[in-house]
Amino acid sequence: MKDAKADAREHNIEQEYDLDAPPEKVWRAISIAEFRENWLPKAALADPDAVAVIPGQTVRYRLREEVPPFLESTVTFTIAPNAAGGTSLRIVHELIGAPSARSGRTAANANAFSLLRAA
């Protein structure tokens, strides 16, 4: 049996970047709507306001796809100063309801398709 947390992590996208800009500048770019809209437009957001904020450190937004199946997700931006005097930016994009929405479970009666490799 799969662990629910491990299954959810399979549907996450995690990225880390080291930026030359100071943390204050990066924080403005991810938290102030006028700056954020240059790279993350309001139309991509399910809600224009942040879901959660830890000032100067973390901000989380809800996103919704415009085409079916209209999946929702959250994207969390976390910043911290790095050793080079710039900023470490961590982005985690999580699909909401991923384990139930895209479960890899097979039927109890084993009516699953078998794929064979052609020679």
pLDDT at 88: 97
Q: What is the DSSP string of 34-60?
A: HHHTTTS-GGGBSSSS-SEEETTTEEE
pLDDT at 4: 45
In a domain, 103, yes or no: no
Structure tokens at 87: 């900023």
Nearest to 77 by CA among 63, 60, 64: 60
In a domain, 115, yes or no: no
pLDDT at 57: 97
Cβ partners under 8 Å of residue 1, min gap 6: none
Q: Which domain holds residue 16?
A: 9-98
pLDDT in tens, the chain (119 residues): 444 444 445 678 999 999 999 999 999 999 999 999 998 888 889 888 999 999 999 999 999 887 777 788 999 999 999 999 999 999 999 988 654 444 455 555 555 555 566 65
In a domain, 83, yes or no: yes
Number of domains the chain is built from: 1
In a domain, 54, yes or no: yes
pLDDT at 96: 82
Return the CATH number at 22.
Answer: 3.30.530.20
C-alpha–C-alpha distance, residues 56 and 73, integer Å: 22
pLDDT at 10: 66
In a domain, 112, yes or no: no
